[in-house]
Amino acid sequence: MAEVEVWFDGDCPLCRREIELMRRLDRRGAIVFTDVASGQGSCPMDRAELLARFHALEDGRMVSGAEAFAAMWRAIPVLAPFGRLARNRHVLGVMERLYLAFLKVRPALQRWARGSGTARTG
């Protein structure tokens, strides 16, 4: 049974690549991955909000940003130590600042990924 559900932007080439990696690492099937861009699956909140930031449901609690990544990592044994480390508020604070910086450059990185041919289509 899944322990964590994550919502991601399937139209984002960067997001798709990361989720593909997480799916390969999730050998126990502990994570339900929901592509918000596809319109399939249930959305627990506004779709635009789900597309703006990475979200996860862990232990009945909705988290977003760096905390959502940490929740996903905790569900994957090889990444679990990093997820547990993020339970420290100082570590999580640094991770969140890095995530916010990434969000600022994400549109440019998406354009680059689409234009460079590194992203798969469809």
What's the pLDDT at 52?
Answer: 86
What's the pLDDT at 83?
Answer: 97
Q: What is the pTM of this model?
A: 0.84
Task: Count each helix (H run) and each strand (E run) in the chain, helices first.
Answer: 5, 4
Q: What secondary structure, in 3-state letters, does 36-51 show?
A: CCCCCCCCCCCHHHHH
List the pLDDT tens digit at each of the 122 positions of the chain. Answer: 568 999 998 888 888 889 999 999 999 999 999 999 887 777 788 888 888 899 999 999 999 999 999 999 999 999 999 999 999 999 999 999 999 999 898 878 877 777 765 444 43
